[in-house]
Amino acid sequence: MDAKEFGSIVMDELPFEPNGQQTQLIAALSLFCSRGWADNGVFVLNGYAGTGKTSVVGALVKALRRVNVATVLLAPTGRAAKVFSRMSGHPAYTIHRMIYRSQGGGMGGYGGGLAVNENRHRNTIFIVDEASMIGDGAAGDPYSQSLLDDLVHYVYSSDGCRLILLGDTAQLPPVGCLESPAMQPRRLKTLGLRVTRAIMTQTVRQAGDSGILYNATWLRRAMLSNPLPEPRLTIDAFADVKAVSGEDLPDEIEKAYSRYGIEDTMLITRSNQRATQYNLAIRSRILEKNEMLTGGELIMIARNNYHWTTKVPGIDFIANGDIARVEKVYGTEERGGLRFADVKIRLVDRDTDLDVKLILDSLVTDTPALDAEGLQKLADLCINDPDRFTPATPMSTRMRTLRSDPYFNALQVKYGYAVTCHKAQGGQWSSVFVDMGYIPPEAQGIDFYRWLYTSTTRAVRELNYINPAIEH
**pLDDT tens digits for range 78-92:** 778 888 888 888 889
3-state DSSP helix/strand/coil % of the chain, to nearest 5: 35, 25, 40
Rounded-to-integer distance, Cα 235 and Cα 207, Å: 13
* C-beta of residue 415 within 8 angstroms of C-beta of residue 363: yes
Rounded-to-integer distance, Cα 311 and Cα 227, Å: 54
pTM above 0.85, yes or no: yes
What pLDDT band is residue 209 in, cutting at 50, 70 and 90? Answer: confident
- Radius of gyration over alpha carbons of the chain, in Å? 23
Chain-centre distance for alpha carbon 355: 24
**In the predicted model, what is the mean pLDDT of the chain?**
89
Range in 29-38, 165-174, 188-197 the model is least confident about: 29-38
Range in 34-38, 48-52, 231-235 the model is least confident about: 34-38
Range 151-157 average pLDDT: 96
* β-pairing verdict for 114-116 and 194-200: unpaired
What tens digit of pLDDT does each residue of 127-136 get?
A: 999 999 998 8
Rounded-to-integer distance, Cα 416 and Cα 420, Å: 10
Range 381-385 average pLDDT: 88
Give the closest residue to 75 by CA, choosing from 126, 144, 120: 126
What tens digit of pLDDT does each residue of 279-333 get?
A: 999 999 999 999 999 999 999 998 888 889 888 877 767 888 888 999 999 999 9
Contacts of 133 by beta carbon, 8 Å cutoff, 6+ apart: 76, 77, 80, 167, 171, 174, 180, 425, 426
Give the closest residue to 316 by CA, choosing from 106, 128, 469, 131: 106
User: Residue 112: what pLDDT?
Assistant: 43
What tens digit of pLDDT does each residue of 443-461 get?
A: 889 999 999 999 999 999 9
**Residue percentage of the chain with pLDDT more than 70:** 93
User: Residue 2: what pLDDT?
Assistant: 85
Rounded-to-integer distance, Cα 234 and Cα 212, Å: 9
Q: Does residue 471 carry a pLDDT above 70?
A: no
Rounded-to-integer distance, Cα 272 and Cα 270, Å: 7
* β-pairing verdict for 124-128 and 70-75: parallel
**The dihedral sign for the CA sequence 50, 51, 57, 62:** positive
What domains can you pick out in the chain, each with its CATH number?
A: 3-200 (3.40.50.300), 208-287+418-466 (3.40.50.300), 298-415 (2.30.30)
DSSP state of 115: E
* β-pairing verdict for 418-420 and 265-269: parallel
Q: How distant, in Å, are the alpha carbons of 9, 64, 101, 117, 412 from that of 98?
A: 29, 20, 8, 8, 24
Q: How distant, in Å, are the alpha carbons of 278, 320, 346, 431 from that of 261?
A: 18, 23, 16, 9
Rounded-to-integer distance, Cα 370 and Cα 359, Å: 9
Q: Is 58 exposed, middle or buried (0-12, 13-18, 19+ CB in 10 A)?
A: buried
Q: How many residues comprise the chain?
A: 472
What pLDDT band is residue 371 in, cutting at 50, 70 and 90? Answer: confident
* C-beta of residue 424 within 8 angstroms of C-beta of residue 266: yes
Rounded-to-integer distance, Cα 296 and Cα 329, Å: 10
Give the closest residue to 413 by CA, choosing from 376, 447, 368, 445: 368
**Residue percentage of the chain with pLDDT more than 90:** 62
Furthest-apart CA pair in the chain: how many Å?
75
CA geometry: angle 347, 353, 354, nearest 5 deg: 100
Q: Does residue 59 carry a pLDDT above 50?
A: yes
Give the closest residue to 240 by CA, choosing from 421, 432, 436: 432
Three-state DSSP string of 194-259: EEEEEEECCCCCCHHHCHHHHHHHHHHHHCCCCCCCCCCECCCCCCCEEEECCCCHHHHHHHHHHH
User: Residue 54: what pLDDT?
Assistant: 86
Rounded-to-integer distance, Cα 132 and Cα 441, Å: 27
